């Protein structure tokens, strides 16, 4: 057997044998995302570009799970793992079906998935923030790692699929400037905010890392000696491959102007650690070799990393030797996966207000009106980077399927999503006056926020100018309130929505995000009490746009729950439920610690209601105010626990001592002696959560010596 095709040999030996058989032009072709077949060696075509942001994307039928920001709102590592595992099952089944049909090498049909996006959602105006796990580095790292493990599987011989941590690094808009801006984060912000999630995924085994479009500290991120060399491969010991964002290598000479032409850009990227080009600029490596800008040995280094991934995926092994090749196509969009999508969507919904316990609704309401521009809007289920499903259940359809006969149910679109409505009579208000309950589904859809090129109604290439809901919807809701006996506001979107006036107008408020193919059924489950809402905000929601720093300012001062001093509308970590959880008996094993001691804390939860709930228990460190740049609080850990009706549960935390270090101005973790507080509760520290109805947290004094 030819050595590179012999699965009995060590992978390094197989890679070396294959590289020795390739011509320079063939090697270069392997470094761009579209690999043509090499017939003389029996190597099929392969396309590296596949997407699986929240389910297999852009490749036909798939289960559409809730958008990533919604998965973050579950605060549930195991649930994110299950969603990712189901996604990779469908991906494997689809890949092998395509291969057997002879469709090798088509885009979006491979096993290398450019997900998860673990950039920090530092500013709610960023349209792509919906792809992230929110604003906190610890939450992002924990849930991102759960997604990687679900995608890549646990087979000792092969990856199920290859995951990719993106976009490395310091990348979160503005979209309109992403190809040209140069960000100079402080050493503190870099170490404290922008790099920790990437480090966690790299040390956790993620197979690939994607570079960002922008420059960082003057260097293009996709050719940064500092990021790719010193940090990623040097400090963290990354062994996988690095891929450019799509078209990012062209930015070197076209926008960043750090190189004179394409050949120089390609050489700079490969020499500094970028192995794979999403695009075609690396084709100019042939010119770069002739001009002495790069050597064939340097190309071989990049190629060896890419081939290692292909061998890990079993692309050079017989199908019968690859366990994941036997996943049947019946898993695609299966009943089990739809049930998981429904459960995940319901678990992501955040109950922000429930005046006089309006929710859950009675089993047999007399009459209901469902209204709003996203109530029957399939886009509002999808978010961006989505798959396709033949049975998308809109909010209107889910409620219609749930209400019993005898209930008079009506639907009206109410108003356009962003433009002014037509003058004259609007039948919505009369229908509202005739209804016992009005469910108004308002907010955003992906035409208004998302990535450059996809958000066709966004004036800023996917970003938002303001974080309030569109003005025409605000006016519509004010008029609707006048005619509604009981008004439930359901918000759709992928980012913070500032709704201080709307909060007061509505009797109940639910944030439903972009919930996927089962979103409508999940909303009905929550509205009628089949599921108690357990979602918690993975972002802070300011009261108004003016409370935000400048969008292009990458300093963390004034941003997120950790550094903002202005009281928010809704705090990070906040969300209500239908039960009544009381936090009691908070304890620390030791109230004084030195730099070698772990923090051990516990709290007792008692459910004083007849409704079972899932509670996201959050543990924060509140440091003394050493300096203006000191975080106001830091998420140390969290656990999603089930608390049965009238039951009591103890929750324990064990925090490693390194998590108690603060980052100094030079970016180094330092042990800072002083009097701290350990906050254990259902939201981040602050008075606002209590004012909104959150349980009273446990505040435990801690001295670091």
Give the contacts of 362 (CB within 8 A, at least 6 positions apart). Answer: none
CA distances 148 to 151, 263, 320, 334, Å, are: 5, 34, 25, 22
Question: What is the distance between the alpha carbons of residues 360 and 531, in angstroms, rounded to a whole number?
Answer: 9
Question: What is the distance between the alpha carbons of residues 84 and 152, in angstroms, rounded to a whole number?
Answer: 9
Instruction: Encode 18-30 in three state secondary structure.
Output: HHHHCCHHHHHHH
Q: Which of 245, 463, 525, 637 is catalytic?
A: 245
Give the contacts of 339 (CB within 8 A, at least 6 positions apart). Answer: none
Q: What is the DSSP string of 248-273?
A: HHHHHHHTS-SSSSHHHHHHHHHHTT
DSSP 159: -
Q: Phi first, then psi: what are they for 520, rounded to 5°?
A: -65, -45
The region that residue 519 occupies, defined by phi over 0 for left and psi between -120 and 50 for alpha, beta otherwise, is alpha
Q: Are 560 and 135 in contact (CB under 8 A)?
A: yes
The torsion defined by the Cα of 565, 568, 571 and 575, in degrees rounded to 10, comes to 170
CA distances 592 to 373, 564, 669, 681, Å, are: 55, 28, 19, 21
Closest CA relative to residue 189, chosen from 217, 162, 210, 215: 217
For residue 43, the cross-strand partners are 38
Question: What is the distance between the alpha carbons of residues 70 and 383, in angstroms, rounded to a whole number?
Answer: 10
In the chain, the N- to C-terminal Cα span, in Å, equals 64
Give the contacts of 215 (CB within 8 A, at least 6 positions apart). Answer: 181, 182, 183, 221, 256, 258
**Which residue shows structure tokens 């994607």?**
210
Question: What is the distance between the alpha carbons of residues 392 and 104, in angstroms, rounded to a whole number?
Answer: 29
CB neighbours of residue 101 within 10 Å? 8
**Which residue shows structure tokens 């990012």?**
248
The structure tokens listed for 393 are: 């259940």
Question: What is the distance between the alpha carbons of residues 163 and 205, in angstroms, rounded to a whole number?
Answer: 9
Number of helical (H) and strand (E) elements in the chain, helices listed first: 20, 24
Burial class (CB in 10 A: 0-12, 13-18, 19+), 258: middle
DSSP 181: -
Question: What is the distance between the alpha carbons of residues 22 and 42, in angstroms, rounded to a whole number?
Answer: 12
What are the start-end ranges of the E strands in 133-245? 164-168, 182-183, 208-211, 215-216, 219-220, 241-243
Burial 411-425 (b: 16+ CB within 10 A, else e): bbbbbebbeebeeee
Give the contacts of 567 (CB within 8 A, at least 6 positions apart). Answer: 543, 686, 687, 688
Question: Active site includes 155?
Answer: no
**Which residue shows structure tokens 């002879």?**
102
Question: What is the distance between the alpha carbons of residues 14 and 12, in angstroms, rounded to a whole number?
Answer: 5
Which sequence positions are flagged as catalytic?
245
């Amino acid at each position: 057997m030819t050595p590179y095709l012999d699965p009995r040999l060590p992978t390094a030996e197989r890679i070396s044998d294959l590289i020795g058989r390739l011509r320079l032009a063939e090697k270069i072709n392997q470094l761009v995302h579209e690999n043509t077949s090499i017939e003389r060696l029996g190597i099929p075509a392969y396309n590296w570009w596949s997407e699986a942001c929240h389910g297999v994307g852009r490749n036909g039928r798939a289960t559409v799970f809730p958008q990533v920001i919604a998965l973050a709102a579950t605060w549930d590592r195991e649930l994110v793992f299950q969603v990712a595992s189901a996604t990779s099952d469908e991906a494997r089944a689809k890949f092998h079906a395509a291969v057997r049909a002879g469709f090798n090498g088509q885009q979006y049909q491979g096993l290398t998935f450019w997900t998860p996006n673990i950039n920090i959602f530092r500013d709610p105006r960023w349209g792509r923030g919906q792809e992230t796990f929110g604003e906190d580095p610890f939450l992002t790292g924990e849930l991102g790692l759960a997604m990687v493990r679900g995608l890549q599987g646990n087979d000792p011989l092969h990856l199920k699929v290859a995951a990719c941590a993106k976009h490395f690094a310091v990348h979160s808009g503005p979209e309109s400037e992403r190809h040209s801006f140069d960000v100079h984060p402080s050493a503190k912000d870099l170490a404290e905010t922008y790099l920790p999630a990437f480090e966690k995924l790299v040390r956790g085994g993620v197979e690939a890392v994607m570079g960002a479009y922008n420059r960082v500290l003057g260097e293009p991120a996709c050719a940064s000696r500092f990021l790719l060399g010193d940090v990623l491969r040097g400090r963290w010991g990354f062994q996988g491959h690095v891929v450019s964002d799509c078209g990012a290598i062209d930015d070197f000479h076209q926008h960043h102007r750090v190189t004179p032409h394409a050949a120089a850009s390609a050489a700079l990227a490969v020499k500094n650690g970028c192995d794979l080009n999403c695009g075609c600029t690396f084709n100019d490596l042939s010119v770069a070799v002739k001009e002495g800008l790069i050597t064939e040995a340097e190309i071989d280094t990049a190629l060896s990393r890419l081939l290692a991934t292909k061998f890990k995926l079993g692309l050079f092994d017989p199908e019968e030797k690859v366990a994941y090749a036997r996943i049947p196509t019946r898993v695609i969009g299966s009943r089990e996966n739809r049930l998981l999508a429904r459960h995940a969507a319901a678990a992501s919904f955040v109950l922000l207000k429930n005046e006089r316990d309006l929710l859950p609704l009675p089993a047999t309401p007399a009459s209901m009106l469902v209204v709003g521009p996203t109530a029957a809007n399939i886009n509002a289920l999808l978010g961006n980077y989505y798959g396709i499903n033949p049975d998308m259940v809109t909010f209107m359809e889910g409620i219609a399927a749930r209400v019993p006969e005898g209930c008079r149910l009506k639907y009206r679109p109410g108003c356009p999503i962003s433009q002014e409505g037509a003058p004259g009579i609007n039948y919505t208000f009369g229908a509202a006056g005739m209804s016992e309950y009005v469910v108004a589904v308002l907010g955003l859809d992906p035409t208004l926020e998302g990535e450059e090129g996809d958000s066709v109604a966004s004036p800023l290439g996917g970003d938002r100018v303001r974080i309030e809901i569109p003005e025409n919807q605000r006016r519509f809701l004010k008029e609707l309130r006048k005619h509604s006996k009981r008004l439930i506001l359901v918000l759709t979107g992928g980012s913070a929505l500032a709704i201080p006036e709307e909060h007061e107008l509505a009797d109940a408020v639910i944030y439903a995000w972009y919930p996927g193919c089962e979103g409508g059924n999940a909303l009905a489950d929550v509205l009628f009490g089949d599921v108690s809402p357990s979602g918690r905000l993975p972002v802070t929601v300011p009261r108004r746009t003016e409370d935000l720093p400048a969008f292009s300012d990458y300093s963390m001062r004034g941003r997120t729950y950790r550094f903002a001093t202005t009281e928010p509308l809704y705090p990070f970590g906040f969300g209500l439920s239908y039960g009544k959880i009381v936090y009691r008996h908070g304890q620390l094993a030791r109230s004084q610690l030195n730099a070698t001691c772990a923090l051990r804390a516990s709290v007792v939860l008692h459910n004083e209601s007849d409704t079972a709930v899932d509670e996201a228990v959050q543990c924060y460190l509140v440091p003394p105010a050493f300096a203006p740049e000191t975080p106001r609080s830091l998420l140390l850990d969290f656990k999603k626990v089930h608390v049965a009706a009238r039951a009591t549960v103890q929750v324990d935390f064990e925090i490693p001592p390194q998590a108690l270090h603060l980052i100094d101005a030079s970016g180094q973790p330092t042990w800072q002696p002083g009097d701290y507080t350990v906050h254990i509760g259902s939201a981040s520290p602050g008075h606002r959560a209590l004012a909104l109805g959150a349980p009273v947290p446990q505040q435990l004094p801690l001295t670091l010596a």
